[in-house]
């Protein structure tokens, strides 16, 4: 009996030691941080396709775009409508060359890193100004998207000195035989300032098969440029030196990991394989929807992005094998960190969560999921939080943010309060707080 008791005591001590080890390794896993309490509230509503947001560092001004109207700013003294598209009313000024159609319109907004001193704001929009005679069919280059630079007045009531710093981002002018095939499809539009103060611009393939792999064109790429539209001197691309990465489908999410400044994109897949990708200077996203390559035949309107069989009814795996989001034939491929287990649920805008108030989630990436649920994919309509491996090549975990279901279009961290702000296709701007 004594021996058994001693054994029991030994077991109990051993179990206690194991628990201690277990507890400490658990704490290490969480980096000593807890799961935060997350709450959300609507701070603006009744907007028309709000698309993107940008804050001054003190948080006292929140600029936002409405895709079908223009640029406005919310300040302590109220909302000021600053710069509208053609046909808009109530704006202090407008551009008669700017317009909206389908996914195109007034999209990304960003403030210069030295905004406090230079009052410079950047804006991405669709424009007729530089098209010339190019856009008679879908098979010409059709320069129909631009990036503008403005000076914001001290009182935030107007903008001036419009300068068009990028004039040649391609645009889809006509409907084609593709799902969601109207004008303005796959129009990109997210713009962000990187850690060095350069401007990053995400563009879309505009349903043109040759676009993403042709580096003389600015469709299906990410640009890294200065405030005058010149290339970053370190861009390694072979082709148009403004390009940082190419081979993308439709970049609507770009942000920079706080721990190392590395750029990541979030992209919506074509009924398969949404992707989060760590960018490599000069790298290839591996999207190549042109016809007559890799065993492909001719595709409708020379665009194979939805092949085979165009519409629903093909399992994502078969479609992915025919038309991969990241084609491993390319030697300069940037493999995605995550591919949504082969599904497409509409991964769009993205922002890294900053601030210790996010607890265990600090430094993880949040992305809006906009999928409406068809083709065998579960519905999206949420924000997910991604824990990306340090090397950017795999995903440690993905969780759903515990907030209401919406079509979250544009995500941006508030620099003043470490809250996450998000526009919705339902016409709102959300503030999502963690503590």
One of 285, 359, 392, 414 touching Ca ion (CB under 5 A)? 285
Distance of CA 308 to the CA centre of its chain: 27
DSSP H helix total and E strand total for the chain: 3, 24
Of 40-48, 60-68, 159-167, 282-290, the segment contacting Ca ion by CB under 5 A is 282-290
**Binding status of residue 325 toward Ca ion by CB under 5 A:** yes
- What x-and-dash track marks residues 414-433 binding Ca ion by CB under 5 A? --------------------
Q: What element of type H or E holds 18?
A: helix 2-29
Question: Least distance to Ca ion from the beta carbon of 344, Å?
Answer: 13
- What x-and-dash track marks residues 261-280 binding Ca ion by CB under 5 A? --------------------
Nearer to Ca ion, 274 or 362 (CB): 274
Of 286-294, 298-306, 315-323, 360-368, the segment contacting Ca ion by CB under 5 A is 286-294
Cα–Cα distance measured from residue 419 to residue 435, given in angstroms and rounded to the nearest whole number: 10
Cα–Cα distance measured from residue 190 to residue 264, given in angstroms and rounded to the nearest whole number: 12
Cα–Cα distance measured from residue 325 to residue 305, given in angstroms and rounded to the nearest whole number: 9
One of 40, 265, 326, 424 touching Ca ion (CB under 5 A)? 326
**Binding status of residue 346 toward Ca ion by CB under 5 A:** no
Nearer to Ca ion, 86 or 296 (CB): 296
Supply 158's token pair: 């107007």
Question: Least distance to Ca ion from the beta carbon of 333, Å?
Answer: 8
Three-state DSSP state, 87: coil
Three-state DSSP state, 377: coil
Instruction: Say if residues 249 and 268 touch (Cβ distance below 8 Å).
Output: yes
Binding residues for Ca ion, how many (CB under 5 A)? Answer: 4
Nearer to Ca ion, 69 or 186 (CB): 186
Question: Least distance to Ca ion from the beta carbon of 339, Å?
Answer: 9
One of 286, 316, 346, 414 touching Ca ion (CB under 5 A)? 286
C-alpha R_g of the chain: 23
**Binding status of residue 339 toward Ca ion by CB under 5 A:** no
Q: What is the DSSP string of 275-315?
A: EEEE--TT-B------SSSTT----GGG--TT-SSSSS-S-
Of 123-131, 151-159, 323-331, 416-424, the segment contacting Ca ion by CB under 5 A is 323-331
Instruction: Say if residues 366 and 350 touch (Cβ distance below 8 Å).
Output: yes
Of 80-88, 132-140, 193-201, 326-334, the segment contacting Ca ion by CB under 5 A is 326-334
Q: Which residues bind Ca ion (CB under 5 A)?
A: 285-286, 325-326
């Amino acid at each position: 009996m004594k021996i058994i008791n001693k054994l029991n005591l030994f077991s109990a001590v051993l179990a206690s030691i194991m628990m201690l080890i277990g507890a400490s390794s658990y704490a290490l896993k969480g980096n000593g941080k807890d799961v935060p309490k997350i709450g959300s509230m609507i701070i603006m509503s009744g907007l028309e396709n709000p698309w993107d947001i940008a804050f001054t560092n003190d948080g006292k001004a929140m600029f936002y775009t409405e895709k079908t109207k223009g640029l406005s700013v919310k300040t302590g003294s109220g909302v000021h409508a600053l710069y509208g598209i053609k046909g808009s009313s109530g704006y202090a000024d407008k551009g008669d060359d700017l317009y909206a159609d389908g996914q195109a319109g007034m999209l990304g907004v960003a403030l210069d890193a030295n905004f406090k001193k230079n009052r410079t704001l950047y804006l991405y929009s669709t424009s007729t100004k530089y098209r010339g005679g190019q856009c008679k069919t879908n098979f010409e280059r059709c320069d129909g998207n631009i990036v503008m630079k403005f000076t914001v007045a001290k009182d935030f009531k107007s903008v001036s000195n419009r300068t068009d710093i990028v004039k040649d981002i391609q645009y889809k002018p006509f409907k084609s035989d593709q799902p969601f095939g109207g004008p303005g499809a796959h129009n990109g539009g997210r713009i962000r300032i990187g850690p060095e103060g350069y401007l990053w611009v995400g563009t879309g393939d505009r349903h043109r098969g040759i676009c993403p792999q042709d580096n003389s064109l600015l469709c299906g790429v990410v640009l890294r440029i200065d405030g005058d539209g010149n290339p970053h001197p370190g861009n390694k691309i072979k082709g148009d030196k403004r390009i940082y990465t190419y081979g993308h489908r439709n970049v609507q999410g770009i942000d920079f990991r706080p721990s190392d400044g590395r750029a990541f994109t979030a992209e919506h897949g074509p009924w398969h394989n949404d992707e989060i990708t760590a960018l490599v200077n000069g790298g290839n996203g591996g999207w190549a929807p042109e016809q007559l390559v890799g065993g492909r035949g001719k595709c409708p309107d020379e665009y194979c992005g939805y092949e085979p069989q165009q519409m629903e009814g093909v399992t994502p795996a078969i479609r992915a094998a025919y038309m991969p989001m990241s084609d491993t034939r390319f030697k300069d491929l940037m493999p995605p960190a995550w591919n949504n287990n082969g599904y497409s649920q509409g991964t769009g805008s993205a922002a890294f969560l900053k601030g210790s108030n996010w607890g265990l989630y600090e430094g993880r990436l949040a992305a809006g999921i906009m999928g409406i649920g068809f083709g065998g994919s579960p519905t999206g309509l949420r924000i997910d939080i991604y824990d990306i491996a340090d090397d950017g090549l795999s995903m440690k975990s993905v969780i759903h943010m515990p907030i209401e279901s919406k079509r979250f279009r544009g995500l941006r961290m508030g620099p003043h309060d470490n809250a996450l702000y998000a526009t919705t296709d339902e016409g709102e701007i959300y503030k999502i707080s963690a503590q």
